[in-house]
C-alpha cells in the first residue's frame, strides 16, 4: 500500500519553514525519508523506527506518531539546496517497502 | 559510506531487444536488493525484491518473465528487460540493504533506459 504524502507541492522563499506529511492506512515497522533531485537517485535523510520518535537536527527533522501510521518531515529555515522531491518510504511488518507519492519542494530566493 | 553502483547509467536500445542492468554493492554485502522503476514526475515504484540465492519476489502487475532478476552473489543483482518496448522506457533504480542489519537502503545512481 503506497503511503500518501501531503502537500503534493510547495514553494517556499529562502528562510521559510515547511512540513511534509506521510500517512499510511496501517501501522508501520519503519518510515524513511529521502530527497531526490531531478535525474538523480534518492538520497537517504533519516529513518524512524519507534512510535513517538523524533529525530534529526535543527534544520531537518522528522517525527513518527505513536500509532506508527503517520510521519512528518520538518524543514526549518529552508535553503536553496533543499529544493527537490521528498519521498517517504514505509516498511510494514511484512517487510514490504513502498515509496510515498512524493512532495515537490521549490525554494526560491 | 555504503556505495551502490549501477551499470550502464544510460542505454538506448531498439524495440524487441533485451537489456541487462547491473547493480553492485561496492563496499558492503547485501542480502536484499530492490529494483524500482520511476516514470517522469512520479514516485518510485517497487518492481521486485531480490534476495541472494533465491528467486525474486515481484510486485503485483510486474511481469516476471519480462523483467528477469538474478541475485547471484551478495554484491551483485541484475535486471534484464527482455523484448523491450517503448513503454518500458523509464528510470530504473536499484537499492541494497546491508547484511549487517541496517534498515537503510542505499541507492544506485539509476539507469535511464530509452527504447526506440
Question: Which residue in chain B is spatially nearest to A87 when comparing CA positions?
Answer: B43
- Contact list, A92 vs chain B (CB under 8 Å): none
User: Looking at the predicted structure, is the pLDDT value of residue A95 above 80?
Assistant: no
- Predicted pLDDT of residue B61: 92
Average pLDDT of chain B to the nearest whole number: 91
Q: Which is more confidently placed, A28 or B53? A: A28
* B105 in reach of chain A (CB within 8 A): yes
* B113 in reach of chain A (CB within 8 A): no
- Predicted pLDDT of residue B72: 82
User: Looking at the predicted structure, is the pLDDT value of residue B68 above 80?
Assistant: yes
Distance (Å) of CA A74 to CA A55, B92, B94: 10, 29, 27
Q: What is the CA radius of gyration of chain A?
A: 13
Are the Cβ atoms of B107 and A49 closer than 8 angstroms? no
Average pLDDT of chain A to the nearest whole number: 93
Q: What confidence tens digit (pLDDT) does each residue in B89-104 have?
A: 999 999 998 766 667 7
Amino acid at each position: 500500500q503506497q503511503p500518501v504524502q501531503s502537500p503534493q507541492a510547495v514553494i517556499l522563499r529562502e528562510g521559510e519553514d515547511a512540513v511534509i506529511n506521510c500517512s499510511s492506512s496501517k501501522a508501520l515497522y519503519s518510515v524513511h525519508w529521502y530527497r531526490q533531485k531531478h535525474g538523480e537517485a534518492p538520497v537517504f535523510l533519516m529513518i524512524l523506527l519507534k512510535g513517538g520518535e523524533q529525530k534529526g537536527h535543527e534544520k531537518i527533522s522528522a517525527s513518527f506518531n505513536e500509532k506508527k501510521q503517520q510521519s512528518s518531515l520538518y524543514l526549518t529555515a529552508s535553503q536553496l539546496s533543499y529544493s527537490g522531491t521528498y519521498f517517504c518510504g514505509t516498511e510494514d511488518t511484512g517487510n514490504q517497502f513502498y515509496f510515498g507519492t512524493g512532495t515537490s519542494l521549490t525554494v526560491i530566493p | 559510506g555504503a556505495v551502490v553502483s549501477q551499470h550502464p547509467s544510460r542505454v538506448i536500445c531498439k524495440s524487441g531487444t533485451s537489456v541487462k542492468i547491473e547493480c553492485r554493492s561496492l563496499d558492503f554485502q547485501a542480502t536484499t536488493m530492490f529494483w524500482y522503476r520511476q516514470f517522469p514526475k512520479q514516485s518510485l515504484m517497487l518492481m521486485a525484491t531480490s534476495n541472494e540465492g533465491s528467486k525474486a519476489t515481484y510486485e503485483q502487475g510486474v511481469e516476471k518473465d519480462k523483467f528477469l532478476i538474478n541475485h547471484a552473489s551478495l554484491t551483485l543483482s541484475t535486471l534484464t528487460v527482455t523484448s523491450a518496448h517503448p513503454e518500458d522506457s523509464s528510470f530504473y533504480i536499484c537499492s541494497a540493504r546491508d547484511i549487517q542489519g541496517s534498515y537503510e537502503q542505499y541507492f544506485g545512481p539509476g539507469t535511464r533506459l530509452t527504447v526506440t
